[in-house]
Structures are given as C-alpha cells and as structure tokens.
C-alpha cells in the first residue's frame, strides 16, 4: 500500500461510494456512537477547552524545536542499545527495513496497526522480497485478506459489515463458522497465535516517542502490539518525524486527548512504553531494536502556511464528525489518510497531481475544527489548498475563466446591474421544471442532484426596491 489506495478515476470512485449503503450505514452508526461516547468523556473530564489549549501548545512547542528533540530522541535510543535511521523518503524507509529483514534472514514478520507503514508501502516492499508480512490487528487482518485499504485511521475496516467479513474469511481462510464477532475473532486469534511465536521480526508504528528517555509509546485496543514487540527477536518501530513528546508529562496529556477523541474512552485497552531492546537480566522483549524516523515530505511542511497539520495525533475525530465522510466513507478519498485530515495532509505529502480533488471533498462546515483535540484549523487549511491550486493554475481552465469573468463583473457595478437584470429575465425563459437547456459539466452534475429555482423574471435588486417602497 502507499498514499494512493485506488486507481479508479476520482468521480467514479465517489459515485461508487455514495451508492454503498452498507458502508454508509456503518459509518453513520460509528459516528453517532463514538460522538455520544466522546461527549460523555469530555463532560466527565471537564475544562475541555483548557485541555485542548494545552495539547496544542505541546504540539506547537515540539514542532518549533523539532530538530533538537529529534537529536535528543536519537541519542537516548542509541544510549539504550537501539538503532536509529532517519529516512528522508518512503523509499529510504522501506529499503532500511528490508535491509534489517535480510540481515536477520527474516521469513515472517508480524505487524501491529500502523498508518505510517501504510503510507510508505512497507508491506508491498517486504512481500515483493519474499517475506511474509502478517497484520495482527483484527481490522487490518481483515483488510489484508480482502486486499483492501483502510478507510479510517482508528477503525480501518469500518466500511465492512460482519456478513462481508465472514465471506472474506470463508473465501480466503476456509472459515465455516457463524458471522458473530466473537466466533470470528476466536478464529483469527487461533490463526495468528503461532505467528507471534515463529515471527523473526515485529513491526509497529509509534503514537508518541519520548525524547527525554528514548521511549516509544503504543496506544491500542488489542494486545497484538505487545505480542509483536515481546516475542520476536527484533522490533522495528516506524514513526513520522513529528510524533514526539518532550517528556512523559506531555505524553500523559496527549494520550488523555487521544483516547477520548478517537473512540470515546478514558483510556484505551493497552498503553505500552518501550525503551530499547531488552536488558540482560530480562526474559521478555526483543534482542534488537530499530527506530525508523520518516520524513517523506514532512520537513517541507514545517514553517509553511500548512504547518498546523503536523500537530495531528491521528485520533480520527475529524472523520467521526465530517458529513462528507459520512456519505462517501474513507474509501472515497482514495488515500491512506481520509477525511478532513487527509484532505489537508495527503496533497502535501503526495502532491496535487494525484490528490488535487481531495480539498474539494469538503463543505467547509467547520465541524472538524470544533472537535480536533489539538485545534488544527482544518477547514481553513482545506481552503488554503484551493487558493494555492488557483494561484498555481491547477484548477480547470473553464473554472478559472468563469471565476475571472465573475470577478471582473463584480468589480464594475454597472455591468453587475445589467447582468442581474438580464439573468433574471433569462432564467424565466430558460429554466424549465428545474433544468437548464444546457446540461453539461458542473451544471449537469448540479441538476442531477437538485432542481434549479424557478425564475420569475425579477432581479433581487428590483424586488428589494419594490419592498422598500411598500414599507414606506
């Protein structure tokens, strides 16, 4: 996998998603359930806006001093016997991981859920080299069997119901049990239990790295991450370069915000802190530890008008409230990072050539702004993307021409007045039963979903003047 998850043309992808009733029902239920639980946890915590302010300050402080904290982190990891690799590109990251796997003569890798490894396409790189990679997170395991991409940063298989999951297990793994979550979970656990014992390497992401101690923090709702880091002889942690906290004091605040915002819990099921490989007198843990710190375009965002997006802690709160996401789901974005955060981050990491449509998958309702635990102005950043694309002439020439004409007319009152009067009369004659005579382009797409208002031949200015006289 990599940033791009689909080769289907964007409009076709959207059209497919808006007709996926299973996905829409699942997303709606998840948004409502998580939303209720989130609000309850926020109310119980109290002083939520103060918590948001503090979390924002922490993330801003880290980003402003990122070079120093990265240096401190790497020094501490190596001090504890670990290895650190800075990867400027996704290719450098995957090649390093592959080199470690070859050095260890690895044949099997167990992997905990990680968005950054999806971003860099780690699984494909390893599997192309003949190494078996097993996703051990239940949802990610489902998607791996289905050869599908995640559609949410926290609930990756949200677009599939249990009947679909049972069919996947039946077709791929010979499962003949019921579609109850309990029975299917037991089946998967039994299937991958031996993999933990026989895997040569365990791979995880990193929610937060603690610069002061060189520790890696993993936040999960399953025990798979602990097994992936405890049983294999080698542990590789992969992290985006911005995912740092100065001390455990700051991690405490960030985890408090993460758990409540992501799934509406005070604390997730498993919170694990790992510091280097195991010590000599310990029996659990890896003999070798590698931390891969991924840039992949992040350094180019620092100091720009989009820098606020690097505050993101991958909680998924923006997706859990977004009305656009509710209708098209994560698959509709064609990106590893969907929803409002994906609409901002993905074009920055992957470029406008492949992801120029994402900033337009947004109504600018600002709901995401109000729920983000680190106060990222997502709607404003999405609008900035649109501004950039206009300035760089990435938007369609027809759109730019129409906008230029509108702006010109808008700057000349006489032309505007004539245009409004003419348009009012024209609408009366041309709009029939909510449709225009020329149903092409954007106008066609508009009228397919809604009717145009019936024209009465009167402009707003004339209507307003008439009513002013009547009031007098």
Angle 257-259-90 from CA coordinates, rounded to 5°: 90
Strand partners, 210: 215, 245
Q: For the segment 345-389, what is each residue's pLDDT rounded down to a tens digit?
A: 999 999 999 999 999 999 999 999 999 999 999 999 999 999 999
Which residue has tokens 């995912």? 243
Q: What is the pTM of this model?
A: 0.90
Q: Which residue has the higher pLDDT, 98 or 460?
A: 98
Beta strand 270-274 pairing with 215-220: antiparallel
Cβ within 8 Å of residue 407, ≥6 positions away: none
What string of DSSP letters covers 363-424? Answer: ----HHHHH-TT---HHHHHHHHHHHHHHTT-S-HHHHHHHHHHHHHHT-HHHHHHHHHHHH
Report which secondary-structure segment, H or E, holds 218. strand 215-220
List the strands of the sheet with 83-87, edge to edge: 83-87, 288-294, 234-240, 201-204, 108-111, 132-135
CA distances from 309 to 299, 304, 385 (A): 12, 10, 12
**DSSP class of residue 253?**
H
Q: Is the dihedral of CA 395, 397, 401, 404 positive or negative?
A: positive
Cβ atoms of residues 200 and 102 within 8 Å: no
Q: For the segment 460-471, what is each residue's pLDDT rounded down to a tens digit?
A: 777 788 888 777
Cβ atoms of residues 120 and 205 within 8 Å: no
Cβ atoms of residues 171 and 142 within 8 Å: no
Tell me the C-alpha distance between 429 and 457, whole Å: 8
pLDDT of residue 23: 93
Tell me the C-alpha distance between 77 and 83, whole Å: 7
Q: For the segment 409-443, what is each residue's pLDDT rounded down to a tens digit?
A: 888 888 888 777 777 666 676 776 666 666 666 66
pLDDT of residue 221: 85
In this predicted structure, the answer to whether residue 1 has a pLDDT above a threshold of 60 is no
Cβ within 8 Å of residue 104, ≥6 positions away: 200, 201, 233, 234, 288
pLDDT of residue 434: 65
Q: For the segment 117-172, what is each residue's pLDDT rounded down to a tens digit?
A: 999 999 999 999 999 999 999 999 999 999 999 999 999 999 999 999 999 999 99
What is the rounded average pLDDT for all residues in the chain?
91
pLDDT of residue 460: 75
Q: For the segment 165-214, what is each residue's pLDDT rounded down to a tens digit?
A: 999 999 999 999 999 999 999 999 999 999 999 999 999 999 999 999 99
Architecture of the domain whose range is 46-294: 3-Layer(aba) Sandwich (3.40)
Report which secondary-structure segment, H or E, holds 463. helix 460-471
In this predicted structure, the answer to whether residue 326 has a pLDDT above a threshold of 80 is yes
Cβ atoms of residues 237 and 100 within 8 Å: no
Strand partners, 102: none
- Tokens representing 356 are 């120029």
HSE (CB half, 13 Å, CA atoms) of 111? 24
- Would you list the domain boundaries of the chain? 46-294, 398-471
Q: Which of 209, 213, 214, 220 is nearest to 242 (CA)?
A: 209
Q: For the segment 22-66, what is each residue's pLDDT rounded down to a tens digit?
A: 999 999 999 999 999 999 999 999 999 999 999 999 999 999 999
362: phi then psi, degrees, rounded to nearest 5: -165, 135
Angle 206-141-230 from CA coordinates, rounded to 5°: 45
Packing angle of the helix pair 138-146, 162-173 (nearest 10 deg): 60
- The predicted model gives 256-275 an average pLDDT of 91
- The predicted model gives 6-11 an average pLDDT of 91
Cβ atoms of residues 142 and 165 within 8 Å: yes
């Amino acid at each position: 996998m990599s940033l791009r998850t689909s080769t289907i043309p964007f409009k076709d992808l959207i059209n497919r998603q808006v007709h996926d009733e299973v996905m829409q029902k699942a997303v709606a239920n998840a948004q409502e359930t998580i939303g209720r639980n989130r609000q309850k946890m926020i109310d119980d915590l109290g002083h939520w806006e103060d918590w948001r302010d503090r979390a924002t300050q922490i993330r801003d402080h880290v980003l402003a001093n990122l070079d120093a904290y990265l240096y401190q982190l790497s020094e501490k990891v190596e001090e504890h016997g670990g290895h650190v690799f800075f990867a400027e590109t996704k290719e450098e990251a995957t090649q390093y991981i592959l080199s470690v796997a070859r050095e260890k003569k690895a044949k099997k890798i167990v992997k905990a859920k990680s968005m950054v490894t999806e971003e860099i396409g780690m699984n494909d790189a390893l599997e192309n080299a003949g190494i078996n990679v097993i996703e051990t997170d239940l949802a990610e395991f489902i998607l791996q069997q289905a050869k599908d991409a995640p559609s949410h940063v926290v609930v990756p298989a949200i677009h599939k119901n249990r009947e679909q999951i049972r069919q996947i297990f039946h077709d791929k793994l010979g499962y003949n049990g019921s579609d109850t979550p309990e029975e299917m979970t037991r089946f998967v656990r039994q299937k991958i239990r031996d993999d933990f014992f026989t895997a040569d390497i365990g791979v995880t992401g990193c929610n937060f790295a603690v610069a002061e101690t060189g520790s890696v923090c993993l936040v999960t709702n399953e025990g798979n991450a602990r097994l992936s880091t405890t049983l294999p002889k080698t542990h590789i942690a992969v992290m985006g370069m911005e995912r740092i906290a100065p001390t455990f004091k700051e991690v405490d605040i960030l985890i408090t915000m993460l758990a409540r915002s992501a799934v509406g819990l005070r604390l997730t099921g498993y919170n694990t802190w790992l510091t280097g490989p195991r010590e000599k007198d310990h029996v659990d843990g890896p003999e070798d530890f590698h931390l891969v710190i991924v840039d992949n375009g992040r350094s180019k965002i620092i100091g720009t008008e989009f820098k606020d997006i690097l505050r993101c802690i991958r909680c998924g709160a923006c997706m859990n409230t977004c009305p656009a996401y509710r209708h098209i789901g994560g698959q509709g974005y064609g990106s590893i990072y969907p929803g409002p955060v994906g609409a901002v981050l993905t074009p920055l990491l992957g470029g406008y050539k492949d992801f120029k449509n994402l900033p337009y998958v947004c109504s600018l309702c600002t709901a995401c702004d109000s729920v983000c635990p680190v106060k990222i102005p997502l709607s404003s950043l999405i609008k900035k993307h649109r501004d950039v694309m206009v300035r760089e002439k990435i938007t369609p020439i027809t759109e730019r021409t129409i906008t230029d004409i509108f702006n010109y007319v808008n700057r000349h009152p006489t032309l505007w007045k004539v245009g409004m009067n003419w348009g009012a009369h024209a609408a009366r004659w041309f709009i029939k039963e909510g449709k225009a005579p020329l149903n092409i382009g954007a106008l066609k797409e508009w009228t397919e979903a809604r009717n145009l208002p019936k024209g009465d031949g009167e402009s707003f200015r004339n209507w307003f003047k008439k009513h002013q006289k009547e009031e007098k």
